[in-house]
Structure 1
Amino acid sequence: MPSVVTEFIEEYGKLLGQGVVDTLVMLIVSTAIAYVIGTVLGVVLYLTAPGSLRPMRVLNAVLGWVVNIGRSLPFIILLVSLMPVTSALVGTSSGVRGVIPPLVVSTAPFVARMIEQSLAEVPRASVEAAEACGASIPRVVISALLPEALPSIVRGVSITLIAVLGYTAIAGAVGAGGIGDIAIRYGYYRYDDEVMIVTVVLLIVLVQIIQSVCDFIARKIDHRSQAEA
């Protein structure tokens, strides 16, 4: 048995290691960019909603419609349809670099709705206290809304990261690189069950790490749970 493991590591160890690195790059870079865009969209959606701080029915409806369209498109279809745009933006539509734009486009609308929901959970009293101090809308968002919603946002990060991890595996079907690409090329096309099993295990491990880390951070920054303790 040890010799079998050794042989497997010698044959696929470097490949799998690079696959994990590529997957992490796709995961972290695309999610970070998506959160920048999605947070702005989510804040605007929250602020312009009926009964919110700056209700703008038309803007909210149009932006919500755009976000919903982005959320409704299957990732594999979005990935293929954006290939010309991706090539124009980053010079290629394959590999790690080529999959980041579609990942961002697919993830940002999802993030926007999660941010909007997290902000909606903030107690109205916190917002009113900031307004009573004469805070402007940007100040209310920065000093009251986002800090109060941060534990919920962090928990949402874990959901987003796990979803994007699944997207990176799907992107392997079109040669995007990463663990999904290895599973397709070696596990599926070459009928190598060992590689397929290892790639699945690696994905499960990554999911567990992401969930555990985000849960730990959320507990640390949630002052409500600390007060109860």
Structure 2
Amino acid sequence: MLEGLAGKGSHISYKGCLTQIFFLTWVLGAELLLLTAMAYDRYVAICRPLHYSLLMSRPVCVLLAGGVWVISAFSSSVNTSLLVQLHFCGPNQIHHFFCEIPALLLLSCSPTTLNNIMAIIADVYFGVVNFLFTMVSYSFIIASILRIRSAEGKRRAFSTCSAHLMVVTLYYSTIIYTYVQPGSGSSMENSKVAALLYTAVSPTLNPLIYSLRNKDVKVALRKVFPCVC
């Protein structure tokens, strides 16, 4: 994608486009699952701190990390395999700045009903179901924080998960919006903006968001922006 944006040419081969879609959907799905695993980690840390070492032991962490990549790879393989079976005999201009399933389905001469169904199923699982799991974790977290009597205790507990909650809100909103109507051409222009958010803006902000809890970063920001901080 970076090569296409930075280079003079705007062409990509058929195999290159499918390869880009495979790795894109693989990484997107993995990140959504990872955000859910992180929400569970925050739930255990705040709601069950005495059992944290047991519930989040090394074997459990390895299992969660492996499951994140395996499940996402399986979903990406299914959707990419379905794209391979389509015929593209009409226009070959992708109305997007990179290869994406919704944009590619609009160029197919074959029926795309099955592709749309599988894309929606993947979206519901990775987007909606994992988002609900994340919200359930945070409902327990918020309830636990509200039971803390001291204001300092509430602030520390909230700071533990505030960065993750900001990333979840930004990432899920753009992903669900982009993939909930995979075969619709009316929303493609808006989908480009949403895709820009989750491929460029969100990854750029992630290091900043997660590092705001670092004391050295806070001190540096106060020096650079004294009037704001």
Q: Give TM class, smaller chain.
A: 0.3 to 0.5
Which structure is higher in helix share?
Answer: 1
**Alignment TM-score, normalising by the size of structure 2:** 0.33
